[in-house]
Amino acid sequence: MKKLLFLLLALSFLHVTPLPRPQFGIVIHGGAGTILKKNMTEEREAKYREKLGEVLKKGHQMLADGEKALDVVEQCIWLLEDSPLFNAGRGAVFTHEGRNELDASIMDGTTQMAGAVAGVTTVKHPISAARAVMEQSPHVMLAREGAEEFAELNGLEMVDPAYFATDRRKKSLKRAIDRESKQGDEGSVFPSEEDDYKFGTVGVAVLDQYGHLAAGTSTGGMTNKRWARIGDSPVIGAGTYANDATCAISCTGHGEYFIRYAVAHDIHARMAYKGESLDKAAKAVVHQTLQDAGGTGGVIGIDRKGNVTMQFNTAGMYRGYYRDGDVAPVVGIYGE
């Protein structure tokens, strides 16, 4: 009898005091790929950890201050685009012709509005151009000169294309071209695993205090790309997706696969139609669908309850999250 009473008491206690769940949260990535500890210096690793931590703290503070999901996505991606560590904005990879052609997209989970730009070379913050397309045009995606003209018309900061160039990425292009000519493998734009090549795209997914979700992705694409190749990052449903009913997702990896398998949307769809949790859906898509197809990369996501996921089938992924109630930001690089 006593036991029963105790059980009833415990149950009613649980009922009236549900576990607190995070009111807001941010999850980010800085690209997935052959990121191995043996190829990394301590100094370099510290730089990555520091930058990821800085971005998470900034996003967390903005969210605590009541800022909206879309603003947090945009501002946090600015920090990553400004950092030469990542393949987005300054520090983007080079095309075969030695240019930096940038792609970005953003999606609002509340309205299902979305914007994207592809192949821009003079917009300092491609993520803001994507947002301008979403908010200031009737379109979803603008490309190349047209996108640049639109960005300038909307008052965005424009720069000389040389602003994006870094020596490190120039060297990666040279290595990729040398290898290509050795192999007589004309037309292959994908670097081999032996290179210290890392994809390095950036992405941010956010749940704000108002229960709204948003996601954004920004990239220079893949080293040695040509023929105005565009990957998944600016493709809504492939590299980026957000829906307040389910989750906000940003992807990184071998873009062609992410487009073919509509990776970001597929995670949303599994949650919406099969009732899967975010983690289960993301694991299935990355470790089964993508893996079986031979696609490499990773995804980050957050759901409307503040659950986060960070899945990748590569050696590593620069990543992290920070939610309301977490004692500190959590940052990771290698498979742990």
By the criterion CB under 6 A, which residues form the site for ligand ASP?
31, 199-201, 219, 221-222, 231-233, 252-253, 255
Tell me whether residue 229 or residue 268 sits nearer to ligand ASP (CB atom). Answer: 229
Cα distances (angstroms) measured from residue 32 to each of 57, 58, 121, 142, 150? 21, 22, 23, 26, 31
Tell me whether residue 177 or residue 189 sits nearer to ligand ASP (CB atom). Answer: 189
Nearest approach, Cβ of 33 to ligand ASP (angstroms)? 7
Marked catalytic residue, from 34, 201, 252, 314: 201
Q: Report residue 40 as tokens.
A: 């990394």
Nearest approach, Cβ of 239 to ligand ASP (angstroms)? 6
How would you write 256-279 as a 3-class SS string? HHHHHCCHHHHHHHHHHHHCCCHH
**Residue 128: CB partners within 8 Å, gap ≥ 6?**
74, 78, 151, 156
Phi, psi for 169 (deg, rounded to 5): -75, -30
Tell me whether residue 253 or residue 329 sits nearer to ligand ASP (CB atom). Answer: 253
Closest CA to 249 of 239, 257, 259: 239
Nearest approach, Cβ of 233 to ligand ASP (angstroms)? 5
Q: Report residue 330 as tokens.
A: 């959590």
Nearest approach, Cβ of 310 to ligand ASP (angstroms)? 14
Phi, psi for 75 (deg, rounded to 5): -65, -40
Q: Would you give the DSSP letter of residue 196?
A: -
* 201 noted as active-site residue: yes
Residues 128, 115: Cα–Cα separation, whole Å: 9
Residues 263, 208: Cα–Cα separation, whole Å: 23
Residues 87, 103: Cα–Cα separation, whole Å: 11
Nearest approach, Cβ of 328 to ligand ASP (angstroms)? 27
Cα distances (angstroms) measured from residue 260 to each of 19, 102, 134, 232, 240? 39, 21, 24, 9, 14
Nearest approach, Cβ of 292 to ligand ASP (angstroms)? 19
Residues 284, 261: Cα–Cα separation, whole Å: 12
Q: Cite the active site residues.
A: 201
